[in-house]
Amino acid sequence: MPSYRVLFDEAHSEWTSIASDYRAFADDLRLRGHTVESHTGGPLTADLLANFDVLVVGTAWGDFTDAELDSSQQFVISGGGLFITGLGWSWVNPDLGQTLDNYPMNRIATRFGLRFLDDAICDPTNHYLSANVCTPIFSSMAIHPIASVLMIVGGPITPCPIERLSGTPQAIIFGDEDSYSNKGYYPVATNPPVVMAMEYGAGRVVALGHERYLTTDDYDGDGNPNRDDYDNAQLGRNIIAWLAEAANRVYLPLIMRNH
């Protein structure tokens, strides 16, 4: 098994930390022989990112400079993997001037033609909490390495859908035929996506519409962490593995011949 180098950004008021709610996620990667570190202060620079295969940014509320966004984008173009989680409905507050456009996670996501929306994915027939249809259980998935061996992803969590603005992002995990988003971005039968993925330059990007699928929180108090509900933990492994593969691919130069 190849060894990956994974950096979790914690310098921009992220909602997650490998010292707390992402500890099990990080430890699971380490048990598989991967190097996992956190970035807790200072900017994201090209020199820093060059030491890693995958960058994880977990629902940040602190802003990123344009230089940091440029460095992160170039990291992916050059073959790195980027895993971003976001929750648009948690941020948007017109009274405070907080919009989808200035949401820190969307400032990253839009660099790659993606956007986290400010509504929730709901499913009237397949949901985790009986009193909340917006805790969907996902079993509709694309044929893709990220979905390998997964049967169900879900839990007591209200995720946001992800919008494709441009480029070639693919919906990997999405709502079924009667699911929808509750502000109308995705009407019934449009299969709102909770996971999207794409190739970008020589690298790859994955977006997930809620960071808590992979944390040690126990939202329903049943004694099982959210990440241990259904196949959530395996989803995290698959995402990191698929992203890291890009950094380990060998590219041969294209030789143009004149005839």
The β-bridge partners of 137 are 154
Q: What are phi and psi of 144, to 5 degrees?
A: -160, 150
The pair of structure tokens assigned to 76 is 């992916």
pTM greater than the 0.85 cutoff:
yes
Alpha-carbon torsion (132, 135, 137, 142), positive or negative: positive
Residue where the block lists tokens 């995990």: 173
Dist CA 130 CA 17 (whole Å): 30
Give 208's DSSP letter: E
The pair of structure tokens assigned to 203 is 């690298």
Dist CA 81 CA 250 (whole Å): 15
- The CA-based angle 140-141-144, given to 5 degrees, is 170
Residue 46: predicted pLDDT: 98
| Residue 201, CA distances (Å) to 75, 139, 156, 167, 251 in order | 10, 30, 36, 11, 12
Dist CA 14 CA 228 (whole Å): 22
Helix pair 232-247, 23-31: axis angle to 10 deg: 60
What would the pLDDT profile of 138-185 be if each residue is shown by its tens digit?
999 999 999 999 999 999 999 999 999 999 999 999 999 999 999 999
Residue 255 above 80 pLDDT? Answer: no
Nearest partner of 6 among 251, 249, 239, 250, judged by Cα: 239
The pair of structure tokens assigned to 204 is 């790859």
Q: Are 104 and 62 in contact (CB under 8 A)?
A: yes
Buried b (16+ CB within 10 A) or exposed e, 107-128: bbbbbbbbbbbbbbbbbeebbb
Residue 19 above 80 pLDDT? Answer: yes
Q: What are the domain boundaries of the chain? A: 5-247
Nearest partner of 223 among 131, 148, 156, judged by Cα: 156
Residue 249: predicted pLDDT: 58
Q: Are 26 and 58 in contact (CB under 8 A)?
A: no
What would the pLDDT profile of 173-222 be if each residue is shown by its tens digit?
999 999 999 999 999 999 999 999 999 999 999 999 999 999 999 999 99
CATH superfamily of 5-247: Class I glutamine amidotransferase (GATase) domain (3.40.50.880)
Name every residue whose Cβ is closer than 8 Å to that of residue 12 and which is 6 or more positions away in sequence: 57, 60, 61, 62, 63, 64, 104
What would the pLDDT profile of 36-58 be if each residue is shown by its tens digit?
999 999 999 999 999 999 999 99
